[in-house]
Amino acid sequence: MKFKTTEINGKQLLSFTHKSGLEVFIYKMEDFRTTYTVFGTRYGSIDNCFSADGETVTVPAGIAHFLEHKMFECEDGDAFLKFAKTGAYSNAYTSFDRTCYLFNSTNLFEENLKILLNFVSVPYFTKETVEKEQGIIGQEITMYDDMPNWRVFHNLLNALYKEHPIKIDIPGTKETIAKITDKLLYSCYNTFYTPSNMFLVICGDVDENTVAKIADQEILQVKKEPAKAIFKEEPKSVCKNFISQKMEVLKPLFAIGFKDMANKTLKQTTAMDILVKILAGETSNMYKRLIDEKLIDDDFTAEYNSGRGFAFVSLEGASDNVNRVCEIVLDEIEKAKQNGISEEEFNTVKKGVTGIILKQFNNPEQVASMLVDCAVKKVDLAEELKIIKEITLKDVTDCLEVFKKENYALSIIE
How far apart CA 52 and CA 29 sit, in angstroms, is 39
Which among 7, 68, 225, 401 is annotated as catalytic? 68
Judge contact between 156 and 412, C-beta under 8 A: no
Q: List 385's β-bridge partners, or say none.
A: none
| Phi, psi torsion values for 205, nearest 5 degrees | -90, 85
Q: Which helix (H) or strand (E) holds 214?
A: helix 208-218
Tell me the per-residue pLDDT of 96-135, one tens digit each, with 9 for 90 and over.
999 999 999 999 999 999 999 999 998 988 888 899 899 9
Structural domain boundaries of the chain?
4-229, 242-413
Q: pLDDT tens digits for the chain (414 residues)?
A: 789 999 998 999 999 999 999 999 999 999 899 999 999 999 999 999 998 777 899 999 999 999 999 999 877 778 899 999 999 999 999 999 999 999 999 999 999 999 999 999 989 888 888 998 999 999 999 999 999 999 999 999 999 999 999 999 999 999 999 999 999 999 999 999 999 999 999 999 999 999 999 999 998 766 677 788 899 999 999 999 999 999 999 999 999 999 999 989 999 999 999 999 999 999 999 999 999 999 999 899 999 999 999 999 999 999 999 999 999 999 999 999 999 999 999 999 999 999 999 899 999 999 999 999 999 999 999 998 899 999 999 999 999 999 999 999 999 999
pLDDT number for residue 93: 96
Tell me the per-residue pLDDT of 332-359, one tens digit each, with 9 for 90 and over.
999 999 999 999 999 999 999 999 998 9
How far apart CA 187 and CA 54 sit, in angstroms, is 15
Name the pTM for this structure.
0.93
Residue 228's Cβ-count burial label (10 Å; 0-12, 13-18, 19+) is: exposed
Count other Cβ atoms within 10 Å, centred on residue 365: 13
> Does 233 participate in catalysis according to the annotation?
no
- Topology agreement, domain 4-229 and domain 242-413: yes
Q: How far is the first Cα of the chain from the last one, in angstroms, to the nearest whole number?
A: 58
For 306-332, the DSSP string reads EETTEEEEEEEEE-S-HHHHHHHHHHH
CATH of 242-413, one of 3.40.50.1860, 3.10.180.10, 3.30.830.10, 2.40.50.140: 3.30.830.10
For 243-299, the DSSP string reads EEE----SS-EEEEEEE--SS--HHHHHHHHHHHHHHHSTTSHHHHHHHHTT---TT
In CATH terms, is domain 4-229 a member of 3.30.830.10? yes
